[in-house]
Structure 1
Amino acid sequence: MTGVLIEPPADGADEATAEEHAAHLEETLLQARALIESTVSLYRQRPATASAVAPTDIAVLGEALDQVIGRARHSVSVALTGSGEFADSVLRLLALAPPGAALRVLCSAEAADASLARLRRLPGAQLEVRVSERELREIAVVDGSAALVRGAAQSDGPQATVVNDAAAVRALELLFAGAWARGRKLADHLGLSPRLRSELTRNILERLRAGHTDDTAARDLNVSLRTYRRHVAEIMRELDAHSRFQAGARAVELGLLSG
C-alpha cells in the first residue's frame, strides 16, 4: 500500500477518558489536532530520499482505503464531507464489513443528503449515522489500530495519510469522538426542514442564545427588524417551541447549535 507512516510523537498524546470534565476533553482534542497536523507537516517538509514512501494520491486512494478499512474486524469510524472517490470507496467497503462490526458514519449535511440511499442500504445491526454542521476532515479509524486521513489538495493533487502509530490513532479517535458527540442522528436530520438547515437559521439561533436584542441581531445580519422577527417566528414554529429559550434548547438537542 502506498502511504505515509507517522512516527510516534516525541511527547505522546493525551489519554483523556470519557469521565473527564468536558472542558478538559475539549482542550485535549485541540492539543491532539495540533499534534497530528504538526507531525504531518514536518513529515512532508523533510527532504525526499530514495527510500521515502510517496504520499497517497487520488489515483491510489481507493487502494489505500481497501487496505485500511478492508482489514476491519471490530469497528470502523468514518467522517464524510461530500460525494467523490473517498465517499464512494468508504460506502462500498462498509457494505462489505464483517457481521458484528460496529460502524459509525459521521457526515456533513451535504454528504448525508448525497449518499442517503447508500447509507440506508448499509448493514444496520451495529450501524450508527450522525450528521454534523461543523467542518469535518475526511478520516477513517479502524479497530483502534489504523487510520487514514484525507488531506487537503496539494500542488500535485489531493493526498491522504495512513496512520499506524498507536498514539496518533488514539488522538484521531478522540477527535472523531468529539465531533460525533456534537452530531445529530440521521433521522433527526431528515426530519428538519430546509429552513432549519440554513446558515441564516444558525446565525439567528446563535444570536438568540447570546441574548442579542432584535435590533442588534437584525443589524448584524443586515436584514430589517420586521424580517428578522418573521424569521424568528418561523423558526420557533418549525421547532415547535413556545419561547425563545425553548427554541434554543431544542436547537441544541437537534444539533443545530453546539451545547
Structure 2
Amino acid sequence: MDTVVDPPDADGAERTVPEEHAAHLEQTLLQAQALIESTMSLYRRQPVTSLVAEPTDVAVLGSALDQLIGGVRHSLSVALTLAGDFTDGVLRLLARVEPSAAVRVLCSAEVADVSLAALRRLPQSRLEIRVVERELREIVVVDGVGALVRGISTEQGTQATVVNDAAAVRALELMFAGTWSRGRRLADHLELGPRLRTELARDILERLRTGHTDDVAARELNVSLRTYRRHVAEIMRELDANSRFQAGARAVELGLLTE
C-alpha cells in the first residue's frame, strides 16, 4: 500500500498520515486532560453556586437529584462512593428510570456490599454495574447535558453542585469513562473472596506481575518468605489461576490491577 506524504515541515522533515493522526490524537488527549484539570480547579475555587444544595438541606439535594434523574431520556451515569442517605436516594430514583435509558452505575466496594439488595432491584434492561477500588467522586451525569457533583465532606457538611455548562459536563463524562474502564462487573466482584479485596493482596499481585522474586517481594512487604509464598498460593487459588502470569492477567480482568 502506498504511503501518502504531506508537504515537508518547516525543518524539511516529511510527515506521514499515521504520524499526523498520532499527533492529532495526542493533542486531543492533552486537551481533554487540560479540560478535566481546569474543571476540577474551578470546583475547588468556586464550590458554591446559585444551584448548590446546602450541606444539611436534604430536601434541596433530593429535589435536584429528582429533577436530574427524573428527566433522563437516553443515558445516565452514576458514581457512588459511600453507603448512606445520598446513595440510597439515588438508587431509589434509578428504580424509576424508563427502561429505554442506558444506565451505568459505578460504585465502591462498600456500596456494592452494603447496598447489594437495592442494586439488584434496579431494572436490568439496559443497566450496567461496575465496582472499582480507587477513590471516586460522587457524580450523576444525565444525557451528557447536566450533572450533579457531590463534594468532599467537611465539618459543615457536604456540598453538591448542579452543573449545566457543556464543557464541564463533558469533562465529568471523561472522568467517569476513564474510571469505568478500570472497573469490574458486579458479578465478578461478588465472586471475589475477602482476601482478594485487601491492600496486601493487590500489593502481592502487583509484584507478581512485575516479576519480583519471592525474596525481594517478601522484603518489600515486610513479611517472611514463607508467609509471602502462602499468600501467593491462597491468592492464586482464589483467582483459579494455574500460574502466576495467569493470576496477574485475571487480576487485571477483575479490576484488581490496572492494565
Query: What is the TM-score normalised by the length of structure 2?
Result: 0.84
SS in 2 for 1:148: strand
1:150, CA displacement in angstroms? 0.5
Greater RCO, CA 8 A, separation 6+: 1
Match of 1:76 in 2: 76
Q: Distance in 2 between matches of 1:132 and 1:29?
A: 22
- Find 1:55's aligned residue among 49, 52, 55: 52
Change (3 A) 1:156 1:119: same
Distance 2:99 2:185 in 1: 22
Q: One-letter code of the match for 2:40?
A: E
**Residues 94 and 44 (structure 1 numbering): CA distance in 2 closer, same or farther, change over 3 Å?**
closer
Distance in 2 of aligned mates of 1:130 and 1:75: 16
Cα gap change, 1:96 to 1:200, in 2 (>3 Å): same
8 Å CA contact 2:112, 2:131 repeated in 1: yes
Residue 31 of structure 1: how far off its partner (Å): 3.1
Q: Distance in 1 between matches of 2:222 and 2:154?
A: 37
Displacement of 1:74: 1.4
List runs of 5+ in structure 2 lacking aligned partners: 1-21
In structure 2, what is the equivalent of residue 198 of structure 1?
198
1:156 CA displacement = 2.5
AA matched with 1:235: I
1:136-182 per-residue CA deviation (whole Å, 9 max, x = no partner) reads: 11100001110001100234211011110111101111110111111
- SS of the residue 1:219 aligns to: helix
Contact 1:132 1:255 in 2 (8 A): yes
Aligned to 2:134: 134
Residue in structure 2 matched with residue 94 of structure 1 by the alignment: 94
Change (3 A) 1:177 1:87: same
Match of 2:78, SS state, is strand
In structure 2, give the amino acid aligned to 1:215.
D
Aligned to 2:220: 220
What does the per-residue CA deviation read over 1:167-218, in whole Å, with 9 as the maximum and x for residues that have no partner? Answer: 1101111110111111011111111111111111111001111222212211
Q: Distance in 1 between matches of 2:85 and 2:23?
A: 37
Change (3 A) 1:29 1:208: farther
Indicate the residue corresponding to 2:42 in structure 1: 39
Alpha-carbon separation, structure 2, partners of 1:178 and 1:116:
24
State the identity %: 66
More displaced, 154-163 or 165-174?
Answer: 154-163
| Residue 5 (structure 1) aligns with | none
Matched, 1:179 2:176: no
> Would the aligned equivalents of 1:236 and 1:247 in 2 still touch at CA under 8 Å?
yes
* CA apart distance, 1:42: 2.7
Give the unaligned 5+ runs of structure 1. 1-18, 46-51
Residue 21 of structure 1 and its aligned partner are, at CA, apart by 10
SS in 1 for 2:181: helix
Task: Please report the RMSD computed on the Cα atoms of aligned residues, expressed in angstroms.
Answer: 2.3
User: How many pairs align?
Assistant: 235
2:234 equivalent in structure 1: 234
Q: What is the DSSP-based 3-state SS (H/G/I as helix, E as strand, rest coil) of the residue aligned with 2:119?
A: helix
Equivalent residue, structure 2, for 1:16: none
Cα distance between partner residues in 2 of 1:233 and 1:24: 45
2:198, 2:207 → 1: CA distance?
15
Contact kept? 1:32, 1:172, Cα under 8 Å:
no
CA distance in 2: counterparts of 1:134 and 1:207, whole angstroms: 19
SS of aligned partner of 1:77: strand
